[in-house]
């Protein structure tokens, strides 16, 4: 009830200014318990996936808390998990502003942020300074990427450096190879490139596991713009290289659903309602091929409870939200959990009870 008022004010501001302003006030609001009041009750609905227990299946997608500076405050809305990042080894400014656009009639966003972040050293310091979310049972995913100035042939160096830096502080690590806003990044999803990257990360993780005596799950985040035919071999490569989960999907470069709208032609990744159907399709393609070999985290265009149920029915066992959180507000978390609970589509063990049949 409170969010529509806040939204009417925030939507008058430039989107990135609104984002910064909201995050800067969030810790204060959380300190007074206001975030809980705004979000309402979020039921417990435990899900086992990647060897972890999630208190509910709804998480915050990567990109909102790029520097991991607001985990506890965001966590107090009731998310089951938060994925902080994408973080790169070295700090970088990202693309020139403006780089974030609202497509209000379509309930979409276009962003070309370009991994603006303070670098992994400050990121880890922020994670270590916040303990409340994890102490309350929240799962923390840390999402890693490569610096814009690192040539794509040396991408593994950046991902391995990121993995080493965040390893001890993550419940799981997400490997982002699907942002459209870093030159050539999505080429890492190609068969040869992916094989080399995954082999390198598997070796690095084995070393870290030996050194620290703890195996941290790795999830790979993929794009919605892959050809359907590319998805089965990609899924097989993830399984073959001991990856623990797949996050589908990142933003899309397609514009067919937003043609003619203001900002539709801006360069970047489109998220929100116009992405929903394709993201669900990709979840379904993965699920039909994987047959339970890997858990799928479904993300893209979840704007209401029914959209979360749709992702689970398609084969996801966890979901994430970003644009829906901006448009619908924190109440969306509880609405999604309740809708999933009411639809009785989750087995609780990381496997959806029913998967959608091939169309």
Contact 273, 303 (CB under 8 A): yes
Cα separations in angstroms, 248 against 200, 293, 312, 316: 22, 15, 12, 9
The whole-angstrom separation of Cα 336 and Cα 338 is: 5
Q: Give the residue, chosen from 130, 250, 335, 355, that forms a contact with ligand FMN under the rule CB under 6 A.
A: 250
The whole-angstrom separation of Cα 127 and Cα 116 is: 18
Cβ-based neighbours of 301, under 8 Å, separated by 6 or more: 271, 272, 273, 274, 275, 276, 277, 279, 280, 307, 323, 324
24 classed as catalytic = no
- DSSP SS3 for 298: strand
If the CB atoms of residues 37 and 187 are measured against ligand FMN, the closer one turns out to be 187
If the CB atoms of residues 92 and 323 are measured against ligand FMN, the closer one turns out to be 323
Six-digit token pair at 49? 């996936």
What residue is closest to ligand FMN based on CB? 63
Catalytic member of 8, 24, 76, 179: 179
If binding is defined by CB under 6 A, does position 18 make contact with ligand FMN? no
Interface pattern 137-166 for ligand FMN (x via CB under 6 A): ------x-----------------------
Task: Determine the size of the site formed for ligand FMN (CB under 6 A).
Answer: 28
Interface pattern 219-248 for ligand FMN (x via CB under 6 A): --x---------------------------
Q: With residue 171 as reference, give the H or E element that holds it.
A: none
Interface pattern 90-109 for ligand FMN (x via CB under 6 A): ----------x--------x
Q: Distance from CA of residue 116 to its chain's centroid?
A: 16
Q: Give the residue, chosen from 58, 208, 318, 321, that forms a contact with ligand FMN under the rule CB under 6 A.
A: 321
Interactions with ligand FMN, residue window 261-290 (CB under 6 A): 271-272, 275
Percent helix / strand / coil, the chain, rounded to 5: 45, 15, 40
Q: Which residues are catalytic?
A: 179
**Chain positions contacting ligand FMN, by CB under 6 A:** 61-63, 66, 85-86, 100, 109, 111, 113, 115, 143, 176, 179, 221, 250-251, 271-272, 275, 299-302, 321-324
């Amino acid at each position: 009830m409170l969010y529509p008022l806040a939204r009417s004010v925030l939507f008058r501001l430039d989107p990135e200014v609104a984002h910064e302003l909201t995050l800067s006030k969030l810790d204060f609001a959380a300190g007074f318990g206001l975030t809980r009041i705004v979000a309402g009750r979020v039921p417990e609905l435990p899900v086992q996936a990647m060897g972890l227990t999630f208190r509910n299946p709804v998480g915050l997608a990567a990109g909102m808390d790029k520097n991991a500076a607001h985990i506890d405050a965001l966590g107090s809305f009731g998310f089951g998990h938060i994925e902080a990042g994408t973080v790169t080894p070295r700090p970088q400014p990202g693309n020139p502003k403006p780089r974030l656009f609202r497509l209000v009639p379509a309930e979409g966003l276009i962003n070309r942020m370009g991994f603006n972040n303070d670098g992994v050293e400050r990121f880890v310091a922020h994670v270590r300074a916040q303990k409340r979310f994890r102490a309350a049972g929240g799962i923390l995913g840390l999402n890693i990427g490569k610096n814009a100035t690192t040539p794509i042939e040396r991408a593994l160096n950046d991902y391995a450096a990121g993995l080493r830096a965040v390893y001890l502080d993550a419940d799981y690590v997400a490997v982002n190879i699907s942002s459209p806003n870093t030159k050539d990044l999505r080429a890492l999803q190609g068969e040869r490139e992916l094989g080399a990257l995954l082999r390198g990360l598997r070796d690095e993780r084995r070393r870290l596991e030996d050194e620290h005596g703890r195996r941290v799950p790795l999830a790979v985040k993929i794009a919605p713009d892959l050809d359907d035919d590319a998805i089965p071999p990609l899924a097989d490569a993830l399984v073959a290289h001991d990856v623990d989960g797949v996050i589908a999907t990142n933003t899309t470069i397609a514009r067919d659903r937003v043609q003619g709208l203001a900002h539709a032609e801006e360069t970047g990744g489109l998220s929100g309602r116009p992405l929903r159907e394709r993201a669900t399709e990709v979840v379904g393609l993965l699920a039909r091929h994987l047959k339970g070999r890997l858990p799928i985290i479904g993300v893209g265009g979840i704007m209401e409870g029914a959209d979360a149920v749709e992702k689970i029915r398609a084969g996801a066992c966890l979901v994430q939200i970003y644009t829906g959180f901006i448009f619908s507000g924190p109440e969306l978390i509880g609405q999604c959990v309740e809708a999933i609970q009411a639809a009785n589509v989750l087995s609780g063990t990381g496997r959806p009870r029913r998967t959608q049949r091939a169309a």
